[in-house]
């Protein structure tokens, strides 16, 4: 990579578009505060520093001239899935970090990383220190397949696998097995496509991303040549979106291997579909049925890796190897659809099919977990019950993001729902439903507790030190950054 | 590969913060991840500009935001509508989350048919992102892809009621079991 390009990645937010943004009400926060200090400012804290946390904070700071907003994060580093989920080869998606950084630089916003709410400090303690608590802690767990063999070596959840290649501290020792030729991904969402791309991308492309060195080394020695993405429903029900599919179809070094008969009868349905589903389906059909042009045909014939979609197959068991020590295949139940369109349901036909494979990635979705017995939680839906972000029967408690809606939706969806939650909170301040006449100590009270418990919070400027070290290490090897995998090492860097 | 340094890179290297249509930025970012793709010469927005990127601020555009307020702004020829919104700090929450790199649809705008026809061709990539926008209409475009010109001087554009990306929402999920 030329120095110019690696340098571009490390541009501080200021130089790009995000840099021209300011939070209008925070331009002279000191002034605002002193002029209007007749009452105590509302003290608000947010749990989680992913898009939900940052967009909720942004809206509160922008639309209330006094509110103080502190963000608590379990990891020493901010940004949630923007850092640990978004694929390394999609750097443009991470541009939202520039706006988040502006928010964190507001004088009325404090970032406290390395604090696990529910363990280092309780929700009740936060409620005592703040007028309002917003829960934006995402979906930390994975949905389980619930089939025999799910725990065999060679089977990984998408959550862990993505965490591994993106440097999530918990997953740094995953060491996935790439010794087989075939990998099966269960699920047909965008995460499944991210994983397929990472497994099949030419290593030279990945080298220039912020994928961890560990993952890069393992993938360089990977023997995976075929990746099947298996869905329990049909081509009209795939969950991924068109941009990601288009990217997959033209991925250098790979060719699509789809079964034409899966697409042959779709013509009649396509014309009546809503535009997004229609264009997506047309692209699927084109990739499977249309004869490629000369150049594309040549490209495909020269590609040594392939991928394909398999439909109407629902996982029933992981098949163990002869010695029983690892996965050697997956048994799928053949299904048929009842009903049409988005709401069609897959029902087993009784038939099964086995696919031999040495790597199985279960990409059937993430899942939120309860944070405290004092916060209501709907286990069935994996969300905090709420109305417009107000937690049910819990005045002063709010929620936003994946823990509010469930683990679907892109960053922009999360942004809108976070603005909605912030709006509810602001309305409650205005209406008096949220009383802030009594002074609350906010972060200073919590810092005292943390000190007693031996927990050292990481500030935003501490994160900027970690960021600078990561960027410098990346520059040495032509990457936008080399993520630090060990939280202890991060804490050492910011040790005062 | 590319014989002309794209303007944005040049300006960033020079430390200047001048507005250029972020279309070019898309190509720069892509280049950073994938050398083989190179630049396309579709830097449409540059055409009307002098090499410094700063022409007169002599065009106008009106945005009607989600609250129904009309926000009038001046614009330079070749400047994208996203840049106009950012430069003037217009009150449109969450506009342009990905900063003009065609990775979201938060700068979705709705045009009058007569202006829509003046806007020039739409790429598959823009269509792909538009497909995920809430409140998609026949005259929808992404603000980051539309560059100001004399032909559309004085036009009024609408910000749709909801900015959210519909990805996830458009996809029907089989019951969670
Ligand atoms: C693999 C993957 C790839 C994706 N790629 C894209 C993409 O390319 N484009 C796109 O638009 N969207 C993408 N998304 C979707 C996007 O990431 C989500 O919409 C968004 O991150 C949800 O935001 P959130 O803040 O609710 O959750 P998160 O981003 O998960 O943030 C939650 C934060 O809370 C913290 N936390 C958890 N528990 C605690 C606790 N007890 N105390 C303190 N802090 C805690 C976590 O560490 C985390 O930082 C992707 C999602 C995944 C899973
Ligand atoms: N590039 C991007 O923009 C990007 C990248 C990554 C993620 N994201 C977003 O992040 C969100 C989460 O993505 P995701 O891929 O984890 O979730 P998702 O989009 O909900 O996809 C989950 C997939 O798993 C299948 N599935 C669920 N339960 C199953 C079971 N028990 N057995 C078999 N299959 C099962 C689903 O099929 P059914 O439909 O039949 O249930 C679906 O195909 C999405 O909104 C996604 O768009 C976006």
Give CA–CA dist A283/A234, Å, rounded: 15
- Distance from A281 to chain B by nearest Cα, in Å? 12
pLDDT of residue A479: 97
Q: Which of B35, B101, B106 sits opposite A92 (nearest CB)?
A: B101
CB of A192 shorter than 6 A to ligand 1:
no
Identify the top-confidence range among A170-179, B12-21, B42-51, B157-166: A170-179
Tell whether residue A190 is among the known ligand binding residues.
Answer: yes
> Cβ–Cβ of B175/A55 closer than 8 Å?
no
The bridge status of strand A226-230 relative to strand A366-367 is unpaired
pLDDT of A372 > 50? The answer is yes
Q: Please tell me if the CB atom of residue A401 comes closer than 6 angstroms to any atom of ligand 2.
A: no
**Which of B33, B86, B170 lies closest to A205 in CB terms?**
B33
The b-or-e profile of A265-277 (16+ CB within 10 A means b, else e) is ebeeeeeebeebb
Contacts of A277 in chain B (CB under 8 A): 170
Ligand nearest to the CA of A52: 1
* Residues on chain B touching A96 (C-beta within 8 angstroms): 97-98
Report the residue among A47, A87, A137 best suited for mutation to probe ligand 1: largest number of ligand atoms under 8 A from its CB: A137
Nearest to A5 among B31, B164, B172 (CB): B31
| Range with the poorest average pLDDT among A52-61, A173-182, A210-219, B17-26 | B17-26
Average pLDDT, chain A: 92
Question: Could you give the percent of chain A with pLDDT greater than 70?
Answer: 92
8 A C-beta contact, residue A343 and residue B171:
no
Other Cβ atoms within 10 Å of A333 Cβ, number: 19
Characterise A38 by phi-psi region: left (phi > 0), alpha (psi -120 to 50), beta (else). Answer: alpha
Report CA(A235)–ligand 1 centroid distance (Å).
28
Q: Residue A68: pLDDT above 70? A: yes
Whether pLDDT at A149 is above 60: yes
Q: Which residue, judged by its Cα, is nearest atom 26 of ligand 1?
A: A401
ipTM: 0.85
Longest dimension (CA), chain B: 60
How many inter-chain contacts (A to B, CB under 8 Å) are there? Answer: 164
pLDDT, tens digit (0-9, with 9 covering 90-100), for B117-160: 999 899 999 999 999 998 899 999 999 999 999 999 999 999 99
Superfamily of domain A143-365: FAD/NAD(P)-binding domain (3.50.50.60)
- The Cα of A278 is separated from the nearest Cα of chain B by a number of Å equal to 10
With a 6 Å cutoff on the Cβ, whether A483 touches ligand 2 is no
Q: Ligand 2 in contact with A410 (CB < 6 A)?
A: yes
Q: What angle do CA B172, A248, B94 make, to 5 degrees?
A: 60
- What is the domain partition of chain A in residue ranges? 3-140+368-495, 143-365
Give the integer Cα–Cα distance in Å for A304 and A129. Answer: 59
How would you classify the pairing of strands B70-75 and B59-64?
A: antiparallel
- CATH for A3-140+368-495, among 3.40.50.720, 3.40.50.1820, 1.20.120.10, 3.60.21.10? 3.40.50.720
**Would the pLDDT of A197 be above 90?**
yes
* Segment A290-325, tens digit of pLDDT: 999 999 999 999 999 999 999 999 999 999 999 999
């Amino acid at each position: 990579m030329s120095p110019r390009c690696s340098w571009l990645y490390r541009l501080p937010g200021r130089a790009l578009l995000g840099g021209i943004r300011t939070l209008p009400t925070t331009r002279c926060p000191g002034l605002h505060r002193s002029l209007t200090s007749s009452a105590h400012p509302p003290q608000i804290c947010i749990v989680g520093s992913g898009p939900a946390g940052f967009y909720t904070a942004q809206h509160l700071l922008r639309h209330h001239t006094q509110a103080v907003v502190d963000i608590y994060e379990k990891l020493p580093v901010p940004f949630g899935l923007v850092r640990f989920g978004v694929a390394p080869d999609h750097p443009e998606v991470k541009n939202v970090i520039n706006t988040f950084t502006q928010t964190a630089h507001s004088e009325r916003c404090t970032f406290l990383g390395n604090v696990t709410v529910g363990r280092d400090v309780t929700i009740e303690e936060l409620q005592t220190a703040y007028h309002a608590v917003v829960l934006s802690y995402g979906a930390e767990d994975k949905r389980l397949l619930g089939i025999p063999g799910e725990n065999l070596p060679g089977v990984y959840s998408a959550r862990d696998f993505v965490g591994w290649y993106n440097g999530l501290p918990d997953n740094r020792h995953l060491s996935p097995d790439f010794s087989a030729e075939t990998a099966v991904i269960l699920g047909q969402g965008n995460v499944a496509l991210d994983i397929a791309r990472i497994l099949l991308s030419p290593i030279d492309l990945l080298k220039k991303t912020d994928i961890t060195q560990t993952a890069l080394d393992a993938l360089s020695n990977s023997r995976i040549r075929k990746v099947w993405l298996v869905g329990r429903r049909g081509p009209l029900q795939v969950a991924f979106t068109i941009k990601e599919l288009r990217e997959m179809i033209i991925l250098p070094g790979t060719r699509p291997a789809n079964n034409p008969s899966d697409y042959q009868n779709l013509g009649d349905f396509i014309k009546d579909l809503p535009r997004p589903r229609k264009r997506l389906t047309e692209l699927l059909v084109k990739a499977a049925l249309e004869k490629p042009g000369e150049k594309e045909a040549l490209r495909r014939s020269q590609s040594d890796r392939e991928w394909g979609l398999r439909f109407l197959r629902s996982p029933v068991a992981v098949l163990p190897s002869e010695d029983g020590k690892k996965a050697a295949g997956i048994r799928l139940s053949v299904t048929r659809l009842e009903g049409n369109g988005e709401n069609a349901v897959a029902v087993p036909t009784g038939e099964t099919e086995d696919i031999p494979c040495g790597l199985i990635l279960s990409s059937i979705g993430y899942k939120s977990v309860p944070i405290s017995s004092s916060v209501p939680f709907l286990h069935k839906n994996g969300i905090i019950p709420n109305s417009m972000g107000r937690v049910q029967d819990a005045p002063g408690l709010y929620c936003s993001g994946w823990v509010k809606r469930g683990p679907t939706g892109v960053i922009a969806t999360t942004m809108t729902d976070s603005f909605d939650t912030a709006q509810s909170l602001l309305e409650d301040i205005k209406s008096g439903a949220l009383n802030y006449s009594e002074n609350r100590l906010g972060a200073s009270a919590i810092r005292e507790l943390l000190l007693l418990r031996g927990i050292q919070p990481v500030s935003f400027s501490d994160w900027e030190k970690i960021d600078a070290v990561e960027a410098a290490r990346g520059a040495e090897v032509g990457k936008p950054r080399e993520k630090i995998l060990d939280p202890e090492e991060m804490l050492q860097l910011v040790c005062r | 590969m590319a014989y002309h340094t794209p303007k944005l890179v040049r300006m960033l290297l020079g430390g200047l913060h001048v507005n250029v249509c972020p279309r070019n930025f898309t190509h720069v970012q892509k280049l950073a991840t994938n050398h083989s793709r190179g630049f396309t010469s579709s830097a449409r927005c540059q055409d009307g500009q002098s090499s410094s990127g700063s022409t007169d601020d002599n065009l106008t555009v009106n945005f009607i935001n989600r609250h129904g307020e009309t926000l009038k702004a001046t614009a330079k020829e070749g400047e994208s509508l996203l840049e106009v919104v950012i430069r003037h700090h217009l009150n449109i929450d969450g506009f342009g989350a990905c900063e003009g790199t065609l990775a979201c649809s938060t700068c979705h705008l709705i045009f009058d048919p007569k202006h829509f026809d003046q806007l020039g061709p739409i790429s598959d990539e823009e269509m792909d992102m538009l497909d995920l926008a809430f409140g998609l209409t026949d005259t929808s475009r992404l603000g980051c892809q539309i560059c100001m010109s004399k032909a559309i001087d004085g036009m009024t554009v609408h910000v749709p009621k909801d900015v959210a990306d519909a990805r996830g929402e458009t996809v029907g999920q089989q019951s969670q079991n």
